[in-house]
A and B are shown apart, each in its own frame.
Chain A
């Protein structure tokens, strides 16, 4: 009856930013990114990628509530980096990893389809 529309889960409403950024008021080089209409799929890969970064002191994400279709990603870095830089770096690295994965898969697939 009062269930939210299904499209609410993946359509960003008008006037809402996909990613917003809020600096921590007390801790240096710490910030919270709010990513609208995303879930564990993005949250977890970005978090794990951030953990590979030596300048990242803390990276974690949460899905605050199953009916609030957003994730909060919190990053703290050393003074050599910044949350924003670490975030961009993580996304670039993941993107390149997927490019690599795609070419690997296509190469393997070509080998197998030739065997037919």
Chain B
């Protein structure tokens, strides 16, 4: 016996895609799906990050655990992460997480020999796998200065100081530790629908219109320079602050503007740390959510156990 399907067919419209940023519209679904995707992008899409550090020599000013922590936070390119194994369920190594299926090895060997301070950066980390390397931010198109990119500074060394270590990077998720989170920010907002009651608006003087337009802390409304009418400039700048509605009420004109949140339309912004591309992050999130749903399907023995109990129950009820 199969019931009717209540499936929805959501729509997506991409507005902007860059490597580490994207903006898109999600329609014809509800907030639970939008929020599930947001939560998963932040906490459950896997990436690779340094998880174990063996320090051989450290004569820098920072202590061993401080450096280990900083290494863990360095974003590593993680396109491979979805197909990689978690070291806890890797059977190639006995859970010590040091095999090629579940880990990547890094070496860092730096010594300062000059009188100038030496910056140890993520570029000094040597990877055993060319697909998993510290994220390179140098080709970011919006570079605000023209200083040569040197990666992420880990520690600074003075003459004679040395840092030598071996690090193991593993697959993990943001739920375990934030260093594995691929997301810098993921947000969604309801799409606002703004109606201007033109008849009522006409009863306002130009000063009143200007006052109303300026009551909004963000630039949602404007005044048409030609016919001096109040127009909606950017509905998405609205932050649901109700300031304009309060102003309208204070002016004795409630209902001159009406604002509704469309509860089936969402505008997403996704920014990543560079570990995965923004577009890939969304796809991975959908994939992870599918896997999670699959994992919560009822197992056959649960269904069987209920069938027996069900008959017994029916019997007891006199069925």
Contacts and interface: CB of A to CB of B under 8 A. Distances in A.
A105 B6 contact: no
Given A21-B298, A112-B17, A6 B3 contact: no
Interface string B298-317: 11001101100100010000
A57 interface: no
Contacts of A96: 5, 7
Contact of A45 (B10, B33, B297, B302): B33
Contacts of B173: 10
Nearest to B43: A41
Nearest to B286: A102
A45 B176 contact: no
A105 B306 contact: no
Contacts of A106: 283
Interface size class of A (residues with CB under 8 A): 35 or more
Contact of B17 (A10, A42, A47, A109): A109
A55 B3 contact: yes
Contacts of B289: 41, 98
Interface stretch (B24-32, B117-125, B211-219): B24-32
B299 A6 contact: no
Contact of A93 (B6, B297, B298): B6
B6 A53 contact: yes
Interface stretch (B34-42, B94-102, B140-148): B34-42
A100 B36 contact: no
B88 interface: yes
B237 interface: no
B8 interface: yes
Contacts of B35: 40-41, 44
A52 B29 CA distance: 12
Nearest to B317: A28
Given A95-B294, A97-B8, A9 B175 contact: yes
Interface string B271-305: 00000000100110011011011111111001101
B3 A89 contact: yes
Interface in B1-56: 1-14, 17, 24, 29-30, 32-33, 35-36, 39-40, 44
Contacts of B282: 105
A97 B9 contact: yes
B177 interface: yes
A97 B7 contact: yes
Contacts of A113: 17
A20 B298 CA distance: 8
B286 to A, nearest CB: 5
Nearest to B290: A98
CB-CB nearest 4 A-B residue pairs: A48-B32, A52-B6, A93-B7, A108-B14
